[in-house]
């Protein structure tokens, strides 16, 4: 986990390839989260990692990762997510030339499926689609580095064998994967734009009911059918901070300038909404059922302010003209005024 | 409120025209509900009514009712609902030749909007669409009968003036009306049939979290878009008892034999599902977005067993061949079996 | 505990002298309460009593009672209350010629001090004023009758010794007494009539937050200072049923016809308020601080309907003209109307 | 919002005139609060402000403020309070030559009315007296500065028009005002000094039940009638920290040296109580009902320690002899000791 | 399910062989439970049963039962328990000549594992030992009787095939079995007799925290090591009613007169404790670790009063001298008394 | 309370002799705790102390302490614990030549007895064994220093008399002591190693249910009887951080190198378990009931990471080879592998 002095280089594995972009809260007081991006080109060799500060929610957008864990193996491809609980040791193998993706390191309450409320017994992500690994182990007598994130720092120790030698396990604290294509998207079938909370896959609750420590929310392929409605996300500001990423396709509120692997940040109470072309297209559209295909955007959304790292602020890729997309809006006519 | 010895006759007002069809629970221990049907042809004259045992949720399907209450006037037409809180005095006026509808007398916790869970801040019935009356009063010095339902019985007293003489009020305990066309229906926009709880308009919670005393659920006009899905209500049985009515149009799980003003009852753990023709039509259908128009069915759904009154069981209209609709289903082929 | 066929007679002890006046709920399902009145003229001799159906809250208005219990002795005089938990054995001794009072038999959650909310850490009845008995026992080898109320019936058994032979005890399930003069009455010191819940001494909560199984509420001597206010209890009806009694003096909403040992009942949603003379006096009064002395009324207030026993309804003392006190009110002038 | 280097000067508007005196907690972790004082002499011109870190509770003691907000206009005069929710844009206009007051910037849960407990359905601040603005907007095409407090810093941006151009709104997240004279003060009407929590106007709850993030508590005009009681606030220390201010008149525990616009701070577990003259006067007083007129003190009370800013500690007005008021108390006689 | 007019006869299957002994509460209001005993000698043939009123907890003491359910097959032998959820269809097969046991029909909240409190993450019955059936079905075209218990009555219908034809299932509402030998018994390892709640296997919570609708509690083989302690259950009475049965061996508070298949009932507030010989043996014992082997008693314990059926009260086996076991206790010496 | 620059010296009283070893959380945000060790050789003279930041849980292992408090006197000897609430003034007297022990300064919710869950009404530490002081005061007119810990710093003030002059008190906020020998230890009486939470004496809950701010857990003398079980604490890592101390005897997972007055720290997610000799002894043992005598270890266990002070890390006594105890474990044979 680099402190951000330089980007990933020649031979980079998962631990070496993680770069922190934004953080909020504090792992020592167990609230908030960090968002890291990774770009790697080799498997972890003779080293394993665990994070004592939080769990890791991994969202790949390029290249499949195989998490070899104390509990067994999980292969996680783009379109899927993997979750490694706090303190669980693992290494990451890749099969192809490289892999890139997003990681949310959650310092707060473990992610779980949201309460469904009136949605009832089934819907959104169904429990049966969260896949735990079959127990598996390796019996390797080779010097192995254990890298631990503990108290915000990385620590290293060496042991004479692989610690991924756990033969069996039981309980309810284990890594899992989930295929986002199995998400049962629910939304209005009449009118109005519904809060994006309706697309919550996993939530880390805070001690305050109603405001999450972090929500993981997706915008998957789905039917959009609302009548009498401006269909894209409306202009708004709110108490939550939104870190947005893209796994594939395009996002309906920002047709240009947002690519897989990219990220945008709208912090608490900062106004935002669709760009002018998206707005104009939505206003002009004749409303009929439309299947939004080939899209998979997501948000890590938190009650706290996400603060960018110096690395993130100094990247050449930083879009310094981001708010230009809202230029060009014309004032609505005030009735009765010329 | 008739005990059911005979149906409504020549000159029948709202109090006289209520006939009890099913009940559950017990008003004295403040759980459960009753469902009454009314068929009336005159306004209440020189009498007012209040129900000390529960609140009244009125669902008209024919003819507009005007509730003249201590808080003001509410006109409730088919497609709308009216709610009179426990203990509030009112009379019912009608303008046309007659009026018919359903009434749920709720003995338990007052109906309120459900918690929305992941649906967020808006959706289903929005609070701003529940309309309270503007304060209004009448100053009438005429002998007036006050009919009260108290402890399961009707009581009558006479006073020398109309008690609907309350000049002003404040607080949050008042009658209201709601136009069901303003319900923001939410449902799957991907696949699977969602629990009908997603169509909850109002809920009376019980002391046990997760099982309602009574839910008022509607099946309004809406888009249906689920792919890879048997779209009608699936075959099921559950712990809740379902009293179903119809305001207009047809219900998608029972195309024949269910008319506005009719009612069906599926009690706890009794299996049910679409009739065979509805089933076959759904199985054969090519799935595409479809707007379900001209339909407004609803359920009063309770954790308790609804028990029909003798009146209900002895009506000539009782459908004694009801379960015949499930005849004709052919067994599915067991794979590999001849 | 008489079923009410006749009033107390010549030689009557506490168990024999209890007459049931009203009940609500059901001891077998552990909600509701009964109210009994007692009029006795001798101590219990060679018999003890326990109530397996509920606890007993005793409110004497004439004559001191001594409860000789398994935990020790409690002397309870008019102006005080005694509470015997469910299942605790006791006998009642009297010193003088007779004793009379009220008993609330609570089938629901045990009475406890109410949560104080914004009142803070002290106020109303303070915990330190609830007095438990010092352990005491008797060593009596004489045939003793044990009378038990169990499942709504009285049962009798005989043993060869007094069961009040418990030598020591610990824990938090014990009888106690409380001197109502130690109640720190709290009320408005500016304007408006506050809900009588502010005078709650003990509450038996129900499973539904906000509606009590039974509240024990008193109207003790206190300052009344509200400006710009109609000071007596206002005209109202509500979801709670009110059984009212009087320990001494007069009650400010009913100056005539309500004496110590008497009782009134205002059930759920039945309108009531001060009688016309009390109303007129209050309207005409010049408002200044006034100390309401020599008064001690109380209510047993429940969410359920109190149903009078046949005995209560057939007593000669029943006031059949009770609602006559509200005759004579003149209609208020409607502004602008002649 | 000045960092405190200097006091308000010649031409100072609301944003420029806010000076921070004490803080606790941390806006980034959303607990605690800050207290600012303002002294201003001009309206905000071509600039608007919003606070992304917390809501603002404004308590003026001199000069009326008009909050021109996205939701409409609120005029708040001394004796009233105004509340601007987190993130809401507004400017402040003044009509007279100047205005001064207190501001609590609340980082925690939004202020709301306290649960009333046994006080019942009405009392303290009644919901109907919280006044929301009527929707109003301005259509001004002039360069406008938007000042935002975000993450503990002030940020500035410029747009070409007034953002106070919102034409209509709905929902329950809006600014409001409240006239403290409408507070229904409740207190003992028998004996003892009640906790000041009984004067809570608004509370910001923390995640720990029973200890508030911040309470806003007032000491309004009211009757004081307690018998057998030392009536002023008694000598105490507690877990809460108390920042006290004065809108008008005098405070009954500190007759001298505490003027409108002044402030005192008693932090957690620091002992305090009435000064010696107030004590002696209370001890010598003959107890009779007394109306405490012409007084309006208040507290911002928090579970955390309020830490003064360097500015506050270096003001010439700082009272360095504050604890001298408790000199002069004589030891009470120990009974039996000479 | 017989109403008890006669005992089981010649050819009796599970439905025919159930005899009701005690009941409490009311299935229609969904609280309380019934206890049935069964004695059967044949499998259910061409009929299936479901209970719409409650779930069935089956405790066999003689003969293995095989529950053929919609979810698959469960073989439950003495020493194990089986649970059939409310509404699930099943038939019972037996392999041997006969089978006998106890059934608790629970009208309230479904049985679940208790919260463990300080016991931590493991202990008592561990979740992994609750065994669900593997999906299995039968494809039988033969007239089958479906017997349903609904609303306190038995109803019968006939269909042309076995309804146990469910091919697959998912979810968390399924029958399960549990081997009581896998219960991790926890108890004092120092002194004092611990409440039997520490042996809770399954609990049906009521709406009142702290008082269960029904608890299923066992007294399994275990070490008993308490020093300075009277080890058998002490003399007590309590608010819970205890129905006790025996699967095998002897119960340590009643050495004589309590056999497998027997039952005792100690209702709320009825005093009980060890019989005199058990008492004397315990008092005389030299305390050392002792393994209590060959014993498996259990209790169905409820907050309500268990009422015996007429059948139960009229059985010849009824022990009319039951309380004779407490004769013979000698009074303890009062210190200082001769 | 020294900042750790040097150890206790020649004449050292309780305040001077406290040395901080580990901390977590933050007193200003009221979560976490610190652990101090003290080694003192004189009584506090003319000075008293109070801690405004947290309560003090004192665990002596050598020498009795007498806490002279505002509430009275508490003598606390090794084997007992004392608790001084936040803000309470006291001084510490010693009778002998010296005293040493551990102190947990708890910044979070006050310690209280844990909820017992299925353990029932009695067990673990019983409320009646928490001993409050009898009111006592001193009347000393001598200059006295008051030392306060407030906001993480020590502050000093001087007054002309002892502040321990409180003559009487009431309420539920008082110091107490507890004799750990009165702890009713509960544990498995069948098999498996139970979580140490079962030995919780006192708990400081956090706002997140299930994870404590601090637990005080002891390992007292007790029977150990588990069959088929590896009896010492198993190898594990968890989300809690464990600070362990020893009052007397030896700890069963570390036979060597852990003495009274010593301390070990296993932070969150750091693996640990018995040392190799303890492991081997346990594996080889023939299991029979064994009384673990002469031992009293304890843990302060927290959800947060305990961070050692520089003082603690630089002590010569620091065991730099601590993890050597886990060397020497041999790999278990994988079945079927040579």
Question: DSSP assignment of E178-242, as one string?
Answer: EEGGG-B-EEESSBSPPPGGGGEEEEEE-SSTTSEEEEEEEE-SEEE--BSS--SPPSB--SSEE
Closest residue on chain E to F187 (Cα): E186
- F265-323 per-position pLDDT tens digit: 999 999 999 988 889 999 999 999 999 999 999 999 999 999 999 999 999 999 999 98
Considering chain F, what percentage of its residues have pLDDT values greater than 90? 86
Q: Give the C-alpha separation, E147 to E156, whole Å.
A: 5
Coil, helix or strand for E291?
A: strand
Mutate to test the interface with E, among F190, F191, F220, F240 (most CBs of E within 10 A): F190
What is the per-residue pLDDT for C293?
93
pLDDT greater than 90 at residue F3: no
> Which helix (DSSP H) or strand (DSSP E) does residue C23 occupy?
strand C18-26
F53 located within any domain = yes
Give me the domain span that covers residue B291: 18-324
- Asked whether E and D share 3 or more beta-carbon pairs under 8 angstroms, the answer is no
Question: Rounded to whole angstroms, what are the CA distances from C95 to A101, A274, C40?
Answer: 87, 86, 11
Q: Which residue has the higher pLDDT, A250 or F57?
A: F57
What pTM value is reported for the model? Answer: 0.95
**Partners of residue F128 in chain C, C-beta under 8 Å:** 170
CB contact under 8 A, E86 and B237: no
Residue B17 has pLDDT above 80, yes or no: yes
Of the partner residues D50, D109, D161, the one whose CB lies closest to the CB of residue A208 = D109
A242 to chain B, closest Cα gap in Å: 16
Token pair 């610190």 in the structure block, residue: F34
- In this prediction the ipTM stands at 0.93
Q: Taking CA atoms, what residue in B is nearest to D121?
A: B171
Confidence (pLDDT) at D329? 86
Distance from CA of A87 to the nearest CA of E (A): 18
Does B337 contact E139 at a Cβ distance shorter than 8 Å?
Answer: yes
Q: Which of C121, C128, C170 sits opposite F128 (nearest CB)?
A: C170
Does residue F7 register a pLDDT over 80?
Answer: no
Answer whether residue D10 is part of any domain. Answer: no
Q: Which of D71, D74, D68, D76 is nearest to D38 (CA)?
A: D76
Percentage of chain F modeled with pLDDT above 70: 95
List, for residues F212-253, the tens digit of each pLDDT value: 999 999 999 999 999 999 999 989 999 999 999 999 998 777
Does C1 map to a domain? no
Query: CA of B324: how far to CAs of B277, B329, D179, in Å?
Result: 12, 11, 68
Across chain F, mean pLDDT equals 93
F117 touches chain E (CB under 8 A): yes
pLDDT digits (tens, 9 = 90+) for D193-225: 999 999 999 999 999 999 999 999 999 999 999
Cβ–Cβ below 8 Å for F337 and A139: yes
Residue B337 pLDDT exceeds 70: no
**C305 → closest Cβ in B86, B109, B151:** B151
Q: What is the pLDDT of residue C324?
A: 87
User: Is residue B209 scored above 90 in pLDDT?
Assistant: yes
pLDDT band at residue F336 using 50, 70 and 90 as cut-offs: low
> Which of A124, A126, A190 should one mutate to test binding to chain B, selecting the residue with the greatest count of B CBs within 10 A?
A190
Q: F25 vs chain C: nearest CA distance in angstroms?
A: 29
User: Is D64 in the F-facing interface, judged by CB distances under 8 Å?
Assistant: no
Q: What is the largest CA-CA distance in chain F?
A: 83
Active site residues of E: 193
| pLDDT digits 0-9 by tens, E39-73 | 999 999 999 999 999 999 999 999 999 999 999 99
What are phi and psi for residue A242, nearest 5 degrees?
Answer: -115, 115
Residue B151, chain C, CB below 8 Å: the answer is yes
Give tens-digit pLDDT for C104-116. 999 999 999 999 9
Chain centroid offset of residue C236 CA: 22
* Nearest C-alpha neighbor of D266 from the set D280, D278, D254: D254
pLDDT at D335: 59
Give me the number of domains chain E comprises.
Answer: 1
Indicate the residue of C25, C237, C267 with minimum beta-carbon distance to B29.
Answer: C25
Q: At residue A164, what are phi and psi to the nearest 5 degrees?
A: -85, 50
Note the pLDDT of residue B335.
59
Judge contact between C294 and C68, C-beta under 8 A. Answer: no
Chain F nearest CA to A33, separation (Å): 16
Do C and B touch, counting CB pairs below 8 Å (3 needed)?
yes
- D-F interface: how many C-beta pairs under 8 angstroms? 40
Please determine, for residue C4, whether its predicted confidence score (pLDDT) is greater than 50. Answer: no
Rounded to an integer, the average pLDDT of E74-78 is 98
- Nearest chain D residue to C121 by CA distance is D195
**Is residue F201 domain-resident?**
yes
Among E261-270, E328-337, F245-254, name the most confident range: E261-270
Identify the segments of chain D with pLDDT beneath 50. Answer: 1-8
For residue A308, being part of any structural domain is answered with: yes
Q: Is the pLDDT of residue F333 over 90?
A: no
D170 has a chain B CB within 8 A of its CB: yes
Q: Which of A209, A268, A303 to mutate to test the interface with D (most CBs of D within 10 A)?
A: A268
DSSP string, D6-67: S---SS--TTTTEEEEEEEEEGGGTEEEEEEEEEE-S---SEEEEESS-EEEEEEEES-EEE
Tokens of F201: 């004496």
pLDDT at A6: 46
Residue-level pLDDT at B141: 93
Closest CA to F37 of F281, F284, F295, F243: F243
For E128, the closest of A121, A128, A170 (CB atoms) is A170
CATH number for the domain spanning F146: value is 2.60.120.10
Residue F1 lies in a domain: no
pLDDT band for position E302 (50/70/90)?
very high
| C85-95 per-residue burial string, b: 16 or more CB within 10 A, e: under 16 | bbbbbbbbbbe
Residues of chain A with pLDDT under 70: 1-9, 332-338
Q: Does C168 touch chain F (CB under 8 A)?
A: no
SS3 readout for B117-170 = HHHCCCCECCHHHCECCCCCCCCCCCCEEEEEEECCEEEEEEECCCCCCCCCCC
In which band, very low, low, confident or very high, does the pLDDT at E87 lie, cut at 50, 70 and 90? very high
Q: Which of B153, B170, B193, B236 is catalytic?
A: B193
- A337 touching D (Cβ < 8 Å): yes
Identify all chain B residues contacting E139, using CB atoms and an 8 Å cutoff: 331, 334, 337
Contacts of B118 in chain A (CB under 8 A): 114-117, 119, 124, 197-198, 200
Overall average pLDDT of the F202-218 stretch? 97
Residue F5 has what pLDDT?
Answer: 44
Pair D296, D277: CB distance under 8 Å: no
Give the whole-number percent of chain B exceeding pLDDT 90. 86
Q: Indicate whether E127 belongs to any domain.
A: yes
Q: Judge whether B170 is closer than 8 Å to chain D, CB to CB.
A: yes
By the 8 A CB rule, do A246 and A261 touch? yes
What residues of D are labeled active site? 193
Q: Evaluate if residue B2 carries a pLDDT over 50.
A: no
Tokens (6 digits) for F63: 């020498």
Q: How confident is the model at residue E10 (pLDDT cuts 50, 70, 90)?
A: confident
Is B9 part of a structural domain of the chain? no
Chains that touch C (3 or more CB pairs under 8 A): B, D, E, F
- Decide if F239 and A87 are in contact by the 8 Å CB cutoff: yes
- The pLDDT of residue C327 is above 60: yes
Between B67 and D251, residue with greater pLDDT: B67
Quote the minimal CA–CA distance from D98 to chain C in Å.
32
């Amino acid at each position: 986990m680099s402190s951000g002095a330089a980007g990933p280089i020649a031979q980079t594995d998962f631990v070496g390839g993680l770069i922190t972009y934004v953080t909020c809260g504090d792992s020592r007081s167990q609230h908030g989260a960090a968002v890291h991006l990774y770009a790697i080109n080799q498997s972890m060799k003779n080293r394993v990692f665990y994070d004592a500060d939080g769990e890791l929610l991994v969202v790949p957008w390029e290249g499949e990762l195989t998490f070899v864990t104390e509990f067994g193996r999980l292969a996680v491809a783009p379109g899927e997510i993997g979750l490694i609980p706090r303190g669980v040791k693992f290494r990451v193998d890749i099969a192809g030339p490289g892999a890139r993706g997003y990681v949310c390191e959650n310092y707060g309450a473990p992610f779980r499926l949201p309460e469904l409320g009136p949605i009832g017994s089934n819907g959104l992500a169904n429990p049966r689609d969260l896949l735990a690994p079959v127990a598996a182990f390796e019996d390797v007598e080779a010097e192995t580095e254990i890298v631990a994130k503990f108290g915000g720092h990385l620590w290293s120790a060496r042991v004479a064998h692989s610690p991924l030698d756990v033969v069996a396990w039981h309980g309810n604290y284990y890594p899992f994967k989930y295929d986002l294509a199995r998400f049962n998207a629910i939304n209005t079938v009449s009118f109005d734009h519904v809060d994006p909370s309706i697309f919550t896959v996993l939530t880390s609750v805070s001690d305050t009911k109603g405001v999450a420590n972090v929500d993981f929310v997706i915008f998957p392929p789905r039917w959009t059918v609302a009548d009498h409605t401006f269909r894209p996300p409306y202009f708004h500001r709110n108490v939550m901070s939104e870190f947005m990423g893209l796994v594939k396709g395009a996002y309906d509120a920002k047709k240009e300038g947002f690519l897989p692997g990219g990220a945008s940040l709208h912090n608490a109470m900062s106004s935002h909404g669709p760009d002018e072309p998206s707005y104009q297209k939505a206003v002009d559209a004749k409303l009929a059922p439309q299947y939004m295909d080939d899209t998979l955007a997501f948000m890590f959304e938190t009650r706290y302010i996400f603060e960018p790292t110096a690395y993130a602020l100094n990247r050449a890729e930083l879009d310094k003209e981001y708010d230009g997309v809202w230029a060009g809006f014309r004032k609505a006519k005030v009735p009765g005024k010329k």
